[in-house]
Structure 1
């Protein structure tokens, strides 16, 4: 009894055309011939024995991807172990011939143990022309992304590669677009389906769930958000443990950098950043804002202070947004507010059409002028260019105390005097973000941003620790001490100051009680006299150029005094620890014996720094990887000692899922009446406010979902 499986061929073929028949060969079941199928006619007539899988000695099963099925003769009499293999081989045959296939009804066959499929007949007639070689990869029935293709696409999308670039990359790998068995539309459809699958319960809920997963992996991670009366996401703030530890070390200067067009809801993204000991960007946290009102910026500012153990920065750098400035003045009244020069330059280009003024403005922002020199320079330039009545020039001048170096001399700004810091953050982050990003994609992309910054820090720390620069200044002892003490980036600036000693003219030395007053001028400007006060009894050394106060490194005038005094090392009072190679290790050693919540973050950072060394050494060799078992055992012992005080409430999902936010109305858009109840009603909380606070058990940040404050 023949058992056949029919496959309908081609998109427009009728059921009677291009039909291929497969014969199933089987071995008998027991002695009951009624419950067995006969083998094909040739086997039955010759009495050939079937072995194992039912294939006779003259038959050989074919793999579904076996090459060579280009003609009916190649395909005829081939034997396959399963129906799926037969269909796969038939699809390959159809693909090479240039037509599509559809799987029709297949007769069910029961009562078989060992069975194979054999091609009995091929009807290769078609009611349409066959596709030529250059079009075969476009046939719908043959187009699909294989599992390996999907894995590669997922990996590339994970790192922010655009879909169009992925298509071009995979085509290049395969030898051309014609070698890919999927089209650009197929790829876009797959990527879209993956995006939809990730946000099945809503975009906002998916982002919060992702942050909850981060909190489970890093117990110091904190995420806080507000909800509107419609249960929609309002504002969202989050920071991980390493960010908090870095803030304790480098949070003396805090930058608020707002980025727009980073997500499809047009929510402004605020990046909280600073400068680490390598003068690189250190990320302290992120926030998505409900709007750009004072109350929203105040909510964010209060939350970052609360999360960072109420450590307040001495300087806050912003882009000049009025609402942001008002909120900072309220929350951080003692902090010096500095406007970012890079943002001011961008606005200057838009508001002042005079090209020459842009050069004037840049010098006014960054030149190391005295207040008197600045005022004379500004008034002369503005009058000569005829900009006395320009509204932007006048309003910007009123804010000169927040942007002119002349008024900020002596204020420690850790490198934010230049434009490269904010410009670099903006350019780098925008390389990872798109205006069509969902909230989940935004959070995941920002994770990659942070990882990239941290990798840069590790690489730079390696070169700072294991490479010694060539001494070039002539003051070898002082230069060598600086090279051993400071990180590479800071040492380069220190070396410039040491080299500057050679261009100074010594004008004399006066004595006032125990204090010596050294006077210097430079070869290029003999009229400019700088004074250095040195009191050996304290010891104390100061220069009126205030470079040390502003940048945290000694100036050339101080190095010249060291030269005259015969010093071989920079005195400890002039070494700012945040610029040293061992900044993190030093802080760790000083705080490891302290207890209490105020030093929890520093201890956390110290342990992370120490464990990174252990992880590197243990990963180099498979045998050393067993240290993981010891760490797991140690973690269990610590949990037992603490009484397993993990609050399991954090593992419970919220009953009310946070809905996706509406598209935000950014500044400049038409203003409308705000819906009632859409604002928060408390400084740290609000209407329907929720906070995912995850911390070390027993500390102030208990492991729980909190509603309200």
Structure 2
């Protein structure tokens, strides 16, 4: 190509007369230009010489060039990107063999997409060496795809193949990273002996996988073990450090860090090791629900380690893959996303989903797309219509920006080094402690502001934490914008259609008065953990003026850390609410009668003043007589709240202490008087060492033989035990030659 064509690093605009060495060089130039501008390219046509049979003419174009020719009787025609665009570049061959631009049309009749240009087929995988490797790998993948039951999960299968080709696979760390990690772990254990970390070594005794969790994470899980999100975003997006998180959510709707790991790959072995290790660190308590990305290796590992746990896929993981997996459909066919969202989020029953899904596949000709097939096969893991009785506690959202897991994005970016992350890890812990302590402080010292006379609002203001109450309050106020219509009624259930004038949608609400069961098709309770405005308006019209106890999750209440069930406090609150509602009703009647004349007004005003004076005197005398007991109970509760943050599962599993492990879990909590918050400084999780010197020594097995170390493990982990080490000297970290027990059931 003429040297005058390219100057510097910018891609010039094509112009008539520019020369190239070949028509392939010309096409390469046009592709580079298209990539910089934001459109895909295609080789539109070419022509050979009749005498020499060599190419003498070629035309390249935008992939939206021209119009697709289609017969009138075509059934379910395949969507085409062609919309009559004229953008193109025509090149011809000179007598001397050089190629030149004969004509160039710049104008497009559609929007250019420079930010999404990598989605175009013509701009993907431009490196021929990478393409060749990928082709050979795909041929190998076909022979092992049955292991995972589907071919579509290329990331998972490629990880498996890489692991089969290199069983000695290890973490890729920069020089000094291992030392930095070890220094962190030793420092954390000096501060708190219950800090947990585990190491997995390959056959060459090199670091393969690494997991750790602080005491606060274990304590948070003991209180909120209902929903856990396993986030592999940083690993799958190929960040500089192969980091994955276990994330939960507390009663203030704040993310909790339940563990971190560095992993070498995405194989069944790695995920099984990680889940086993995390399970052990959390006192062998399985979560009720675990959210992950769609990954067959993860699905297999979670099914093996947590057979009773409900496993679901994060919605935003599914939605963010659509542009990449379905190429131009999501970019150019707005109608596709409308139909897709309607199928997923507006299908109230399984039958309705099946019908709409089938129509969607036919309309957009997607039946042969492997990824779409995998979505359907896994529909019970992510489609709302199949998860009616599942509670996500706010962890499943439609976009990552809305997800609680995204709160860690500000600490980690694609180029974050290990040393930088270690510093950020300390900041993460400090920020989490500060935020939770501030929320706890506000819960004790501030009263929620009521914005309506609704008995539901009054009831839950005394129960919910401030953060969840504010969200519930929006639903209470939004009930005023709802209109309901009774559709049907049988012996047990009444069906309503609720028109929400705020979003213009209709919702179906089922109400069983006998069982106090209510269900709304918007699934607010399932996804967020509190009732929606549509359910509230149905309860109100049915003569029910308090939220049924089954719909008040203890995890969202001020009593979330209490050992007493929420139903006990709810009974007390509901009694108070009933008295409050009765007084309000009578006060309204008194106001109507008292306002009719000046005389009646004076009588009513005197009565109110006298009643207020007597009630205040009675309540004050009651508080005075109960003062010693009351202050004592408050002090005990404060002590309990403080020590609850310092309690962690006893992870000691040595042979001598294994029998006492579960017994120790039943011990009552010790009082702790050092939980005060001063000037925003928050004391970290307490240095609780249950049993003194008999504390956590699971990892200290460097002097034991294989038989001894195997006997140290819980029975359910034998033959599938994670390799773990503790108190290893810095110089031993890279070349550990201690016991390594392999899982003989799983491929590595």
Which TM bucket (shorter chain)? 0.5 to 0.7
Distance apart, 1:284 and its partner CA: 0.4
Q: Does 1:523 align with 2:499?
A: yes
Distance 1:654 1:691 in 2: 8
Report the counterpart of residue 720 of structure 2 in structure 1: 683
> Residues of 1 paired with 2:546 and 2:399: CA distance?
31
Query: Is 2:675 the partner of 1:613?
Result: yes
Moved more, 585-594 or 489-498: 585-594
Q: Which residue of the partner structure matches residue 582 of structure 1?
A: 559
Q: Do the aligned partners of residues 213 and 253 (structure 1) sit closer, same or farther apart at CA in structure 2, a change above 3 Å counting?
A: same
1:479 and 2:457 matched:
yes
Match of 1:645 among 693, 709, 712: 693
Change in Cα spacing, 1:320 to 1:421, as seen in structure 2 (3 Å) is: same
Q: How far apart are the structure 2 equivalents of 1:206 and 1:568?
A: 58
- Secondary structure of 1:418's match? coil
Q: Name the CA shift for 1:345/1:265 in 2 (closer, same or farther; >3 Å).
A: closer
Quick one: distance in 2 between partners of 1:441 and 1:500? Answer: 45
Matches within 5 A, 1:467-546: 467-475=446-454, 477-502=455-480, 503-505=482-484, 507=486, 512=491, 517-523=493-499, 529-535=508-514, 540-543=516-519, 545=521
Q: Distance in 2 between matches of 1:349 and 1:316?
A: 26
For residues 269 and 200 of structure 1, the distance between their equivalents in structure 2, rounded to whole angstroms, comes to: 14
Tell me how far 1:561 sits from its aligned partner: 5.5
Greater CA deviation, 282-291 or 369-378?
369-378
Could you say which residue in structure 2 is the equivalent of 1:282?
256
Question: Aligned equivalents of 1:452 and 1:419: distance in 2?
Answer: 26
Mapping of 1:16-31 within 5 angstroms?
Answer: none
Q: Secondary structure at the match of 1:243?
A: helix
TM-score for the superposition, normalised by structure 1: 0.54
The one of 454, 461, 466 aligned to 2:433: 454
Checking the alignment, whether the CA contact within 8 Å between 2:344 and 2:353 is kept in structure 1 is: no
Please, which of 529, 540, 548 is the counterpart of residue 563 of structure 1?
540
How many angstroms does 1:214 deviate by? 0.2
2: CA distance between counterparts of 1:550 and 1:200?
41
CA deviation string 1:238-292 (max 9, x = no partner): 1111101111222211111114369999552110012221222111001111322
- Offset of residue 692 of structure 1: 5.8
**1:542: Cα distance to partner?**
3.6
**Would the aligned equivalents of 1:473 and 1:499 in 2 still touch at CA under 8 Å?**
yes
Q: Once the 2 structures are TM-superposed, how far is the Cα of residue 366 of structure 1 from its aligned partner? A: 4.1
Q: Which runs of structure 2 are paired with 1:5-404 in the superposition (5 Å)? A: 202-260=176-234, 268-352=242-326, 353-354=328-329, 355=331, 356=334, 357-367=336-346, 369-404=348-383
Q: State how 1:404-419 maps to structure 2 within 5 Å.
A: 404-419=383-398
Deviations 1:119-170 (A, max 9, x none): xxxxxxxxxxxxxxxxxxxxxxxxxxxxxxxxxxxxxxxxxxxxxxxxxxxx
Kindly tell me: are residues 262 and 377 of structure 1, through their superposed partners in 2, closer, same or farther at Cα, counting changes over 3 Å? closer
Give the Cα separation in 2 of the matches to 1:384 and 1:264: 35
The structure with more radius of gyration: 1
Q: Is the 8 A contact 1:277 1:487 kept in 2?
A: yes
Q: CA deviation at 1:598?
A: 4.9
- Aligned mates of 1:478, 1:549 — CA distance in 2: 19
- Stretches of structure 1 that go unaligned for 5 or more consecutive residues are 1-198, 657-679, 694-704
SS at match of 1:414: coil
**In the TM superposition, what is the alpha-carbon distance from 1:303 to its structure 2 partner?**
0.8
In structure 2, relative to structure 1, the CA distance for the partners of 1:283 and 1:436 (3 Å cut) is same
Question: Residues 284 and 351 of structure 1: is their aligned pair in 2 closer, same or farther, counting only changes over 3 Å?
Answer: same
Secondary structure of the 2:561 match is helix
What's the C-alpha RMSD, in Å, of the aligned pairs? Answer: 4.6
On the 8 A contact 2:509/2:535 being kept in 1, the answer is: no
Structure 1 residues 692 and 370, CA, compared in 2 at 3 Å: closer, same or farther?
Answer: farther
For structure 1, which segment, 302-311 or 320-329, has the greater mean C-alpha deviation from structure 2 after superposition?
A: 320-329
Alpha-carbon distance in 1 for matches of 2:472, 2:212: 36
Q: How many residue pairs were aligned?
A: 452
Distance 1:285 1:422 in 2: 21
Q: 1:555 to 1:651 in 2, by over 3 A?
A: closer
